[in-house]
Structures are given as C-alpha cells and as structure tokens.
Amino acid sequence: MNYLNETIDSLNDKLKKGELDAKQLVKDTAENIKKTDEKINAFITVDGDAKVAEDLNFDNKLAGVPIAIKDNIITEGLKTTAASHILYNFEPVYESTVVAKLKAAQATIIGKTNMDEFAMGSSTETSYFGDTKNPWNLNKVPGGSSGGSAAAVASGEVVAALGSDTGGSIRQPASFNGIFGIKPTYGRVSRWGLIAFASSLDQIGVMSKRVKDSAEVLNVIAGADDRDATVSEKEVPDYTAFLGKDVKGLRVAVPKEYMSDAVEAGVKKAVQAQIDLLKENGAIINEVSLPHTKYVVPTYYIIASSEASANLERYDGIRYGFRAEDAKNLEEVFVKSRSEGFGDEVKRRIMLGSFALSAGAYDKFFLQAAKVRTLICQDFAKVFEDNDVIVGPVSTETAFDLNSEISDPIKMYNNDILTISANMAGIPAASVPAGLSETTGMPVGFQIMGNRFDEGHVFQVADFIERSNKFYEQKPAGLED
C-alpha cells in the first residue's frame, strides 16, 4: 500500500466501506515499506505483525490507520533505539503518552523511523543504522533529526508520522522533503516517553503530506497528562476547524533577518511568492525585526548541549542497552560503554555541555545563554503584540548532498538558524511546501510561527498555502524507476 494519493479521511472512508481491511492494510503497508526502504532507509524497525485494535470504531478518524513513530519515542514491546548503538537492543516495557493516545484512537503503530542519533543532527547522517535518503533526490539528505519520519511520509510509506523538534527537527526535514510538519507549543503535547535530548526545548509534533492529516493527529495526541509536569491543561481545540478559511485581515509579520542575502536565491523567491499570495488575498504584511536572531545558534548549542550532557548521564552500560564486553572494572564499564556506544556528534555535544556547566564556565557561558534566551522570547512577544503569525523560510537552503556537510559541525549547526528561535520561545511553528527552488529543483519550506497555544492561526495559513499551490500533487522524482 502506497499512501502518496491517500489522506486520513480517504483511508477512513475506505475502511468504513469495507474497501480496505485493517489487518491486510498492515501487511500491505509493511510490504511497501520493505520495497521502498531499499532506496530510502526511512525505518529502523517495521512491525509487519502490528496489532490492529479490536472492534474498530470508524468515528475515530485514525481507526485502523498505520502511523509511524520516530525512534526516540517509547513504544511498549517495540524496539526503541534513538538511532544509537547504546540503545540498539532496547525494548521498552512501558508506553509513551502520545503512542498510548494514538492506540486509544485505534491507530496502528507500523514501525519506528530513522533519525539522527539522540536527535542530534540536521541530516539523519549520524544514525547508527545508516543514512536516510531524500525521496526527491537519493543523493540528497532528508534533513534531520526527524529525517526518517519525513522521508517515510514523502515517499508514501505512511500517511503520517510523529517526530520531535528541539531546534527545527520537524520543520527542516519537512521542508527538505516537500511535506507539512508542525511543532506545537511547548507543553501542548506530553513529552512522557520521549527520550530526552534538551528537556526545555524538545517537543513532539506531526508530519504528513496534507495539513488536515496533521491537524487530525494533533487533535488526538495533544492535551493534559498527569505524568508530565510541563504539559498544559489548556483545552485542546479542534484544529480542523481552522482549515478552509481565507486570510483576509490576517496580520502577517516578515522578519527582515529571515529574508537576508544568506538565504539561497531559489528559496527566497519561493518564500516571497507565498508572502505575495497572502498579501494579494487580503493579509496585512508587516516587516519586523527579531534583532537577537544572530545569537540564536550559539545560545541554542550551549543550552541544548548542557541539557543533553545531563540527560545522557543515565546511559552507563549497567542497567540496559549496550555494554562494552572487555571492561575489567566498574570505571571501564562506564568509560568504554559510553565511548563505544555513543557516536561522534553525541560525544561532541556531551563534552560541550559538560564544559558549559562546569564551575569555571557556568557564569560565562550557560548563564549568559539563558539571559539571551530571555531576550529572544521578548523579541517574539513584542512582534505578536501587533501580528497574528510570523512567516519566512524554514532553512537558508534546500536539501544538500549526502556527506557534504557532516564533517563540518559549525556549518551543520548553522542550518538551524531560522528554526531554533521557535523552540527558544516555546511557540508553535510549521513548515508547508512553497514549491520547488528554481536554483536546485528541490522542495522549499514556508515557515509559519504563531503565538503560544495559537496553533489555529498556523494551521489556517498553512492550509491556505496548501490549497493555493497544491504541491501535494507533485511526486518525488527520486522514486521514479
């Protein structure tokens, strides 16, 4: 079963009418994944025997629909690795909240998608299980760290997938793969069962070809959770209610920092076309400034790496996961297991974070980064006083070649310069396709950011853009025989 021409609604209709059988759908989906993944490598684990809920109630839109889960989200009884050697054989005995909610809605969990190790990367090239390829061009990266989820959706392996976003890890791969992806407000979706990278920045979100599909999945996974003290108890609206609307009178901010000469010409042209479209249809376009944008990359990597160094202390080779075989004493168990179990990028960030938190560096680095983060939050709060959404590019470039940037950490880190701020401020943000770059022929993402807990305006604008350009009708060229 290939999902390139399907939506959650179309699958629900076919299942309801008996044109599709939910159990056979699992087998057909797994068979297509096996075939497609020979080229893409979007999955780490595929569950061809995934359990389908009994007595399916098709009033639940997700009933019987196979959904993919990024492999840093805990799935009970289904291997969860975070794409790391140190967790290569970890089979959880409990369920993450988001997966429990999907199962309660009778969705079927078809498998776990590839990613950058512990979500640390922007290209899905740091995975212990090999690179994922971009379905539009198999020589290009799919972005990261949710590159496996993005590629799985873009190639039609699944209709929707969960990802996580710490500094752009849903939006950038969504942009590179020509699909929709949304990171909701921090606290809108429970992080219980998400393997932590940077706890104050991580957020689970949704990726799909169509905007409505993500709205329907977010309807299910959003909301309060007693096991997560950071999740909001605010009522969750029906996100599909924001679709099908016009944009007349909507106040749209365009930060001048996001449309600078650093943005590739083809990306800028495609993004500007969407801004012009909004203006032509009655939106009020305001040029604004987010003056602390130039500080977001160093600020993010100090804060995120510091939190990562603390979160990853638990992987010690003692309780679960990989354990070095030739350790002669307890200290060697710790040192060798972590040295052999973690990849280079993870070790780099652990060392950076440990240094930033050390007694001699804390005030100079971590404390200063925390202050700059406050300034970044204030920049956004000021803009949202007079605007409903902020728009611009997702990335300064389209998908780059495999192995072209992985050896240059600074260049790789700068890929996140336009997405990090939303995580710093804890606001919702999404990427919707803006067409293909005239320069590279690869997909371009149009970023939409809303005020805290205002996913509604994000969905409204994204749906309007989708209905206007119908990019979902285009098929990835890299899969053509």
Catalytic residues: 70, 145, 169
- 290-325 burial, b at 16+ Cβ within 10 Å, e below that, comes to bebbebbbebbbbbbbbbbbebbeebbbeeebbbbe
Q: Are 187 and 161 in contact (CB under 8 A)?
A: no
Under DSSP, is residue 402 helix (H, G, I), strand (E, B) or coil? coil
Phi, psi (5° rounding) for residue 244? 80, 10
Q: How many Å apart are CA 85 and CA 106, to the nearest integer?
A: 32
Which amino acid is located at 74 in the chain?
Answer: I
Q: How many Å apart are CA 447 and CA 432, to the nearest integer?
A: 7
Of 110, 137, 119, 121, residue with least CA distance to 82? 119
Q: Are 73 and 99 in contact (CB under 8 A)?
A: yes
Within 80-185, residue ranges assigned H as helices are 97-104, 147-154, 171-177
Q: How many Å apart are CA 201 and CA 186, to the nearest integer?
A: 7
Within 385-476, residue ranges assigned H as helices are 409-413, 420-425, 455-469
Q: How far is CA 40 from the centre of its chain?
A: 18
452: enclosing H helix or E strand: none
Which residues pair with residue 181 across a beta bridge? 207, 431
Which amino acid is located at 257 in the chain?
Answer: E
Neighbours of 361 (CB within 10 A): 15
Give me the residue label for tokens 């290209």.
123
Which residues pair with residue 109 across a beta bridge? 67
Which residues lie closer than 8 Å to 178 by C-beta, 6 or more apart? Answer: 136, 154, 433, 436, 443, 471, 474, 476
Q: Residue 463 has which token pair?
A: 């749906």
Q: How many Å apart are CA 60 and CA 203, to the nearest integer?
A: 25
Q: Are 53 and 103 in contact (CB under 8 A)?
A: yes
Q: How many Å apart are CA 296 and CA 300, to the nearest integer?
A: 6
Give me the residue label for tokens 């809303």.
450
